[in-house]
Amino acid sequence: MLKTLYTRLSLGLFLLLLAVGLLYTFISLYSLRGYSASVSQALHQDLAQTLVSDRNLVSDGGLNPGALEELFSLYMAINPSIEIYLLDLDGAILSYSANPTQIKRNHVSLTPIHQLIEDRSLYPLLGDDPRSHDRQKVFSVTPVPSTDNPQGYLYVVLRGEQYDAAETMARGGKVLEMSAWALLVSLAVAMVGGLAIFHLLTRRLRSLTRLVAEFENSDKRQPLPSHHPSALQHSHPSEASVAHFSNTRWRNKQPVVRDEIDYLGASFDDMARRIASQIEQLKEKDAQRRQLIAQVSHDLRTPLASMQGYIESLQLRRDRLSPEEQDRFLTIALKEGRRLSRLVDELFELAALEAREKQPVPEPFPLAELVHDVVQKHRPAAYESQLTLSLSGDPELPLAYADLAMTERVLDNLISNAIAYSPAGSGINVVVGQTGGEPEVCVKDSGPGIAEQDLPHIFEPFYRGDASGDSGHAGLGLAIARRIMMLQGGDIRVENLATGGACFCIRLPVKAAFSPGVINT
């Protein structure tokens, strides 16, 4: 019953309105009572003085006892709402118009009496009620026989006990009935208006809730039906709807956020798109993992089977093989063993780089000197392959800020690949320079180049294009090179040369710009 936000808001509104209505009723009745007292005292502030003059209470400079008794009797009959008391100068009650059994005081405080005599505008001003030990009421008062010759005070309680009884009866009857009806009508109108407002305010929230429920029950990859609340638009959580979402809500690259619900909707849109994208990435990674396992199994099985075959042949036919054939078998088996060892090493190195277990230790160093040493190291291999390995460019480069050993590993890989794929009699040119103030090295070979369809995948593990042939490489070297460069905050790229061949370039950061990269596997 109370599970929905709308129901809880409605109940909260009802309780709030009920509390406000009761508080308003209490304040209104209290204020009305004070207002009525103020009006009564303002209208009758001269009543005591009028009684003295109209009823001839003063005769020959003194009080007329007979006229006073007549006044008490008369006003008890014609106006029972007032009570008349005669006080001395100390506030003691000398005479009164009430039933003697009902008088609880024999003395009243003179402080409010003096205040009202001095300033007639002070109302409501309450004085002691002789019929109660603690109650106070509005009053009218005048000195008698005169202000210049006061011998006492005529003290008139304007709202006596009979007035209180009549007011209580009226309040318990028609006044309370009217107040109750007014309260109920006000609560009903406010409740209906509040419910309508809550319904409008929670409409977008209900739509968002339905959208979240549909997304929860979906496969997180298929597009959900389009929902278009007034401000919550285009909540499509799947990859298939990202394009539509981008063309509408994100047209200005920022969502239209007017309040918390819009922000919540925009956050859900972004979360749903990311979840869908991550699910697709997980599927793609799972497929790549399966493919990787298959490729690793194949690449490990090939040299292992070759090595095992030659060793078994040598063991079974040793007595029938000449020394030259035995040496050839051993050489091939050793070559395949080295190939297997290199493949395993590369697999471990790639895994360590992807897991960030192997971190670079950057330091400033002259890149041109490192490139010169690496070129000299590979010149014998180039000479054996009948290739010319040259170094050119501007040696005056800013100091690179990277891991020296990792950078050398990348250069070794690029130059080795260039030697492996360049035809005999051609040349390999290593060029040093800078781009945007950062040192750069480009290795340009004279091989067949890279097919256009292979360029986007050239740095993926185990990827080997059609032009690679059977080079003896597992396709891990460029993947390792890319991860090394990303860890160092650098960059690696490849392009085909117009004259033929491929050009691999690496760019290293300088110290002020160094920022370790994030590997996206």
Mean pLDDT over residues 89-118, rounded? 85
Residue 471 confidence (pLDDT) = 47
Residue 39 has pLDDT above 70, yes or no: yes
Question: By mean pLDDT, which of 98-112, 148-162, 188-202, 456-470 is the weakest?
Answer: 456-470
The predicted model gives 287-301 an average pLDDT of 72
The fold of 363-513 is: Heat Shock Protein 90 (3.30.565)
In this model, does residue 472 exceed pLDDT 60?
Answer: no
DSSP H/E element including 404? helix 404-421
Confidence of residue 507 (pLDDT cuts 50, 70, 90): very high
Reply yes or no on whether the pLDDT at 407 is more than 80.
Answer: yes
Tokens for 348, please give them. 């471990």
Q: How far apart are CA 245 and CA 241, in angstroms?
A: 6
Q: Name the pLDDT band for 430 (thresholds 50, 70, 90).
A: very high
- How do 438-444 and 502-507 pair as beta strands? antiparallel
- Residue 221: which residues within 8 A CB-CB, separation 6 or more? 238, 239, 276, 279, 280
Per-residue confidence at 156, pLDDT binned at 50, 70, 90?
confident
In whole angstroms, how far apart are CA 470 and each of 198, 257, 412, 421?
Answer: 72, 58, 20, 11
Structure tokens of 514?
């160094």
Minimum mean pLDDT range among 146-160, 445-459, 481-495 = 146-160
For the chain, the distance separating the N- and C-terminal CA atoms, rounded to the nearest angstrom, is 49
The CATH class of the 45-157 domain is alpha beta
Half-sphere exposure of 204 (CA within 13 A, CB side): 19
The burial of 191, by beta-carbon neighbours within 10 Å (0-12 exposed, 13-18 middle, 19 or more buried), is given as middle
For the beta carbon of residue 463, count every other beta carbon within 10 angstroms.
Answer: 17
In contact, 382 and 389? CB cutoff 8 Å: yes
Higher pLDDT among residues 50 and 506, named by residue: 506
Residue type, position 47, single letter: L
Of 17-26, 243-252, 359-368, which has the strongest mean pLDDT? Answer: 359-368
pTM higher than 0.95: no
